Amino acid sequence: MYDIIVVGGNLSGASAASVAAEKGAKCALIERHQKPYSPAHCGEGIPDVVGDFLKLDEIGCLTNPIEIININLSTIKEYTFKLKKHKIIIIDRNKLEKHLLEKAEQNGAELFIGKTVKDFKPPDEVLLDNNESLKGKIIIDASGIACHIGSKIGIDTKLKPEDVGVCIQSRIKGSFVRNTVKLWYHKPYAPFGYAWVFPINNTLANVGLGITGGQKLDMQELLDKYIQYETKGDCEILHTFRSCVPSAYPLIELVKDNVMFVGDSARLANSATGAGILNAIISGNLAGCIATKYLKGGINTLDTYTLEMKRILKRLKKTYNRKIKLTTDEKFLTGYKKAFSLLSFANSISPGFFQNYVAKRVEKELIKLEKYK
């Protein structure tokens, strides 16, 4: 019998297993991909304060600091934001996930890589595709948008098409401005979504787009047009992936019985931007810490996890309620124009104010983790 079984070896699952094993829990992690960390299925951007928390320099994870964000709102208006005190950093997510899995294993966690969960028999039995049976006192569902374990215990995991963010991204070799992220909102490249260029260095970048589900569009054609626009055809595509992220209302309760939900399984991606790395890291670490402390008798309920995630859940709910109103071209463009204009005005009056506000808000969540570590 394991103390904790983590289903999914992505950032949220790897974080949960790493911290739980480090704190002395007997832990198993199941990941269906043979190479769970390659290629990274995201743009790989995070706030610099999160990079400091993860101690990326110590693990040899390369980072690229971003100083300028250029936003084009469907040719209507262009905005440029200069980042002062705090930066966005583009990370090597492959390296980070690999490090977390290796750390978990070094601390005694057993990794089942390339294994698929065939079934879950509540309250504690996970059945693998080779019919191997694992039992755990606590199950952490980090299986992504599918929410595999949740679907077995009565959680409504079905999402409406408009509550799914459909993404496609290529790793591009070409010429890029290393310190500048480019975003293009709405048409012609990303209807009811946005396209991006996240530079890794001067010659490599993640170039992709994410749009609201339910639209009958050729994603590859949209991406090809955007790559052509940004590179004028002078580039080499190294690899391309497609994925989906939850663009939905978050789970109201992040715990059901002995099952905890983290990352995309808990619908913790930002429904307006699709950004999920930050909340995956926070939720994974917090779930791993709280589960271990509960097993050791330090707290009397796993519901502490939902309570500690309360502020994040509140922000995600507000964002979703705003997003679902942007159903027409006019509403979408008007909504984002108001938001970007307000940010631009605030930045002109007090450069760095919004950046400092976001950084402090993130730091509060990270400090919370220290309470359980």
Q: How many CA atoms lie within 13 A of 70 on its CB side?
A: 11
- So what's the pLDDT on residue 37? 67
Summarised one tens digit per residue, pLDDT across range 186-244 is: 999 999 999 999 999 999 999 999 999 999 999 999 999 999 999 999 999 999 999 99
Containing H/E element for 198?
strand 190-199
Summarised one tens digit per residue, pLDDT across range 258-284 is: 999 999 999 999 999 989 999 999 999
Summarised one tens digit per residue, pLDDT across range 58-78 is: 999 999 999 999 999 999 999
Q: Which residue has the tokens 């500048």?
A: 180
If we measure between CA atoms, which residue out of 336, 298, 302 comes closest to residue 319? 336
- So what's the pLDDT on residue 321? 96
Would you say 206 and 156 are in contact if contact means Cβ atoms under 8 Å apart? no
Q: Which residues fall within 8 angstroms of residue 201, CB to CB, at 6 or more apart?
A: 64, 176, 178
d(CA 156, CA 250): 12
Q: Which residue has the tokens 């409406």?
A: 160
Q: What is the 3-state secondary structure (H, E, C) of 216-241?
A: CCCHHHHHHHHHHHHHCCCCEEEEEE
Considering only CA atoms, give the Rg of the chain: 20
How, if at all, do strands 63-66 and 236-246 pair?
Answer: unpaired
d(CA 200, CA 66): 10
Tokens of 356: 């400092």
pLDDT of residue 353 exceeding 80, the answer is no
- So what's the pLDDT on residue 38? 73
pTM: 0.95
d(CA 110, CA 273): 35
Per the rule left: phi > 0, alpha: psi between -120 and 50, beta: everything else, 45 is: beta
Q: What percent of the chain has pLDDT over 70?
A: 99
3-state helix, strand, coil in the chain (%, to 5): 40, 30, 35
- What phi, psi does 162 have (nearest 5°)? -75, -10
**Full set of structural domains in the chain with CATH:** 2-44+92-159+249-324 (3.50.50.60), 162-246 (3.30.9.10)
pLDDT of residue 351 exceeding 80, the answer is no
Q: For residue 45, list its beta bridge partners.
A: 90
